[in-house]
Amino acid sequence: MKKIQQLASACALTCCSAFALADGITAVNYGGAIGNAQKAAWVEPFAKSSGISATAVEYTGDMAKVKAMVDAKNVTWDVVEVESADVGRGCQDGLFEKLDWAKVGKKSDLIPGAASPCAAGVLVWSTVLAYNPATTKSAPQGWKDFWDVKKYPGKRGMKKEARYNLEFALMADGVAPKDVYTVLGTKEGVDRAFKKMDELKPSIQWWEAGAQPPQFLVAGDVAMSTAYNGRVDAAQREGNKNLAIAWDQSIYDLDYFVIPKGSKAKAQAEQYIAYTLTPQAQANFAKQIAYGPTTKAAFSMLDATTQANLPNSPKNAKTAIAGNVDFWTDHGDSLEQRFTAWAAK
């Protein structure tokens, strides 16, 4: 009889644990400044308002880990932040659950490109020209100035990959932002971009982690750098005065939330995503870090100072271009291979 009671107790504990697991979610993000902003604006307020426990976990963006979970049918993550390049591929490969948009929100409330069958765009980020005002006599205007090491002496920080660097090179060479992907889609255009990269190569200091450009700039190691605008914003909030952004010809993109296929808490995960897309939650996030809302109504909740630092504010978006996901899906492998070989010379 005692063994039966012990077994019953163990079963009850297991059932309760399973129920608790289903009622809670694990929300995965890129960590750092963006992770802290999500925790403050979304994770903690959602848990408080919904009664659903929410745990924030950071990762490197490695889709192999998501795939391993899905393939093993042992999914422990419920909402995962991914870049636009991973959305279509992951959806096609069956890594993500299809979203029930009737529960997530109205697609018409979102900016173009934010709603897809498997993903919800939750923030807009940008790769910008960041510079150190202490080492530049005047504010640079676009990538032509970034390439001008005579007028603006000093090293240039650039991420060690082809994506966006080739676009920047073409704009520095006089290609209009609206024509960049048309030109880059030709052999002549690719050759032109690499030739322009050749000019700057002796002055380049490569970076790989998003935290590095602000560090380089503050230390005076580089005069200018490509950088994620949110990383610059976070450093400025910490009191670093030797940082500024030139928004001309920046490239913006979206980050999305997806639900890994087989999540044990899909309903709660959709509830969480729906919360992050509410105007107030979107506005709260933009106040934490300078990444733009994807919910259109959130803009009216932000003051002019906050809007001035967002990639998709009317002023900053005027001379910006959207990163072309389809282009990089089709041409990314070959261009990255060529870039790797070029950088190694």
Domain total for the chain?
2
Beta strands in the chain, from DSSP E residues, in sequence order = 25-29, 54-58, 79-83, 120-131, 156-159, 204-207, 224-228, 244-258, 321-322
Residue type, 95: L
Residue 260 and residue 214 share a domain: no
Give the residue among 219, 291, 276, 208 at the shortest CA–CA distance from 33.
Answer: 291
2-56 residue pLDDT tens = 444 444 444 443 333 333 334 799 999 999 889 999 999 999 999 999 999 999 9
Going by pLDDT thresholds of 50, 70 and 90, the confidence category of residue 137 is confident
Give the residue among 43, 34, 36, 89 at the shortest CA–CA distance from 63.
Answer: 89
- pTM check: above 0.75: yes
For residue 2, the model assigns a pLDDT of: 43
Going by pLDDT thresholds of 50, 70 and 90, the confidence category of residue 326 is confident
What Rg do the C-alpha atoms of the chain give, in angstroms?
Answer: 22
Residue 111 and residue 246 share a domain: no
Name the residue range of residue 174's domain.
125-252+319-344
Residue 96 and residue 6 share a domain: yes
Going by pLDDT thresholds of 50, 70 and 90, the confidence category of residue 257 is very high
Whole-number percent of the chain with pLDDT over 70: 94
Q: Which two tokens stand for residue 68?
A: 């391993």
Residue that has been written with the tokens 């697609």 in this structure: 107
Give the residue among 24, 33, 112, 26 at the shortest CA–CA distance from 75.
Answer: 26
Residue 262 and residue 177 share a domain: no
Q: Is the pLDDT at 240 greater than 70, yes or no?
A: yes
Residue 159 and residue 67 share a domain: no
For residue 32, the model assigns a pLDDT of: 87
Q: What is the DSSP string of 41-102?
A: IIIHHHHHHH---EEEEE----HHHHHHHHHHT----SEEEEEHHHHHHHHHTT-BPPP-HH
Query: For residue 102, what is the domain's CATH number?
Result: 3.40.190.10
Q: Is the pLDDT at 1 greater than 70, yes or no?
A: no
Residue 118 and residue 231 share a domain: no
**Stretch 301-325: mean pLDDT:** 93
Residue 323 and residue 182 share a domain: yes
Distance, C-alpha 172 to centroid of its chain: 24
Residue 204 and residue 104 share a domain: no
